[in-house]
Amino acid sequence: MAKLSNHTCELKPHQMNNVLIVEDNRMVGSLLREFIGDSLDLNVILLETLQATKALLENDPPDFLVALLDINLPDAPDGKVVDFVIQQGIPVIVFTAGQDDSWHDKFWAKQIVAYVLKEGPDALPYLTFLIQSLQKNRNTKVLVVDDSISSREYLLDLFRVQRFIAFAASNGQAALEILDRQNDIKLIVTDYHMPDMNGDELTRAIRQKHNINELAIIGISSVDDRKISSLFLKAGANDFLNKPFFTEEFYCRVSQNIQTLEYIETIKDISNRDYLTSLYNRRYFFEAALRFYDLFKRQGNPFAVAIIDLDHFKKVNDTYGHNAGDLVLKYVAGLMQHRFRSADIICRFGGEEFSVFLTDVKKKEACRILNDLMLELEKSAIEVGENRVKITMSIGVCTNLQGSLDEMIKKADLLLYQAKEEGRNKLVCD
């Protein structure tokens, strides 16, 4: 059994919705406070001096997500406020008009979040992007893999500054064991030279379970050998950095890789959703429900498949117009999202027809949930302009295991047809 080095840098469970700005130029400070407060819905505390900052932070201050600091204040030139705020454990963004390279390097050596210049119209949007990233990072898990204690701790510190939930492993086997327990890790930074399993070998092992669009891997190495980067990339790594690296470049690579994963996830989610109701679409339903069907059939867990159809929906379109029909469909989708659990798969099957795969639920409970949904819609009056539209639904439910998912859907569809034949606004369960 590999020895685990399971150092975790994790934030306290309470939310940090405060931003500290220390800026002696009142016009700039007010602009920052308004822009950040309005854009991100955060509580912004604006101060003008180091003395006021000390008075706040030394007397039971609120938790701060980040501090945005000018480096030359009336009572604190040369970035003294930066040193003080970092000592209080608050991540710092330096926001300054100075362009001296020596200043730039000096503050990056203090492990800040970013160094941003007060110039151009892009500065404020970039600041909001940085703060939004810190907010998201609080729920993003990363893993550092390095057999060197000092290198491992240094990388953990860099991730801590950026508010990530960071895990650490001293070798490849320990990394794989952590990844098995924490399967929602989004980014791994791994050294190349390690005992028993090199970085490229670890990357190959990870890629057997986690594809490149779900988990990013950045390889690192202190050895000046161009072949190492090729080994990492051919093994399935997303990126590579030579040590020692510049902190700003490291953060840019981390941010870029995580952003790419987010873009892919967004595109994938859009492709799986119905554009009108935001419910899953028919294609996704068959993919996801089939996985659940196979799993529950193997484990013997109960589940149900329901087909739902809105009664006389054509009348709504004919009487009030297609815009009204769209509003009705969105209203019904909202009811369904409220009624069902996140583990259930809710789908717009087509037109005014919906399907639901209810997970881990027995027949009686499934029928109760669906019947409550039907009764809630019956009692509803959907506001469409000046009109209040009434509509009902019919439901067919299959809870008895069939030979395939398709057979269960067909069975539910037959039961739906029976509900329609028996007068609509009715649930028929097998």
pLDDT tens per residue across span 202-231: 999 999 999 999 999 999 998 877 889 999
* 320-336 mean pLDDT: 93
pLDDT of residue 48: 94
Least confident of 193-197, 235-239, 304-308: 193-197
Is 253 a residue whose pLDDT tops 80? yes
Q: Are 9 and 164 in contact (CB under 8 A)?
A: yes
Alpha carbons 154 and 162: distance in angstroms, whole number: 13
CATH of the domain at 44: 3.40.50.2300
Q: Take residue 313 and report the two structure tokens written for it.
A: 């929906």
Q: Are 289 and 424 in a shared domain?
A: yes
- 208-232 exposure pattern, b = at least 16 Cβ within 10 A, e = fewer: eebeeeebbbbbbbeeeeeebbebb
* 368-378 mean pLDDT: 95
pLDDT of residue 12: 37
Q: Are 247 and 259 in a shared domain?
A: yes
Q: Are 152 and 131 in a shared domain?
A: no
* 156-162 mean pLDDT: 95
Assign 4 a pLDDT band (cuts: 50, 70, 90). very low
Cα dist. 312→110, 268, 384 in Å? 67, 34, 17
Give the closest residue to 85 by CA, choosing from 43, 108, 117, 57: 57
Is 3 a residue whose pLDDT tops 70? no
Q: Are 94 and 155 in a shared domain?
A: no
pLDDT tens per residue across span 266-304: 998 899 999 999 999 999 999 999 999 999 989 899 999
pLDDT of residue 98: 66
Q: Are 156 and 166 in contact (CB under 8 A)?
A: yes
CA angle centred on 367, ends 363 and 373, rounded to 5°: 150
pLDDT tens per residue across span 407-417: 999 999 999 99
Alpha carbons 173 and 190: distance in angstroms, whole number: 12
Q: Are 144 and 247 in a shared domain?
A: yes
Q: Are 287 and 420 in a shared domain?
A: yes
pLDDT tens per residue across span 7-58: 333 333 345 689 999 999 999 999 999 989 888 889 999 999 999 999 999 8
pLDDT of residue 224: 77
Q: Are 187 and 234 in a shared domain?
A: yes
Q: Are 286 and 215 in a shared domain?
A: no
- 301-333 exposure pattern, b = at least 16 Cβ within 10 A, e = fewer: eebbbbbbbbbebeebeeebeeebbebbbebbb
- The answer to whether position 366 is within a domain reads yes
Alpha carbons 347 and 326: distance in angstroms, whole number: 16
Residue 113, exposed/middle/buried by CB under 10 A (0-12, 13-18, 19+)? buried
pTM over 0.85: no
Output the average pLDDT for the chain.
90
Domain of 362, in residue numbers = 282-429
Number of CB atoms found within 10 A of residue 46's CB: 19
Is 6 a residue whose pLDDT tops 80? no
pLDDT of residue 177: 96
Is 99 a residue whose pLDDT tops 90? no
Is 115 a residue whose pLDDT tops 60? yes
**Could you say which of 135, 151, 178 is where a domain stops?**
135
pLDDT tens per residue across span 76-95: 988 899 999 999 999 999 99
Q: Are 286 and 424 in a shared domain?
A: yes
- The answer to whether position 41 is within a domain reads yes
Residues β-bridged to residue 218: 189, 239
Q: Are 369 and 418 in a shared domain?
A: yes
- The answer to whether position 78 is within a domain reads yes
CATH of the domain at 396: 3.30.70.270
Q: Are 267 and 286 in a shared domain?
A: no
Q: Take residue 145 and report the two structure tokens written for it.
A: 């893999």
Number of domains comprising the chain = 3
- The answer to whether position 6 is within a domain reads no
pLDDT of residue 106: 87
Give the distance, in angstroms, between the CA of residue 430 and the centroid of all CA atoms in the same chain.
39
pLDDT of residue 102: 76
pLDDT of residue 118: 85
- The answer to whether position 36 is within a domain reads yes
Cα dist. 48→28, 86, 93 in Å? 11, 17, 16
CA angle centred on 250, ends 125 and 203, rounded to 5°: 125
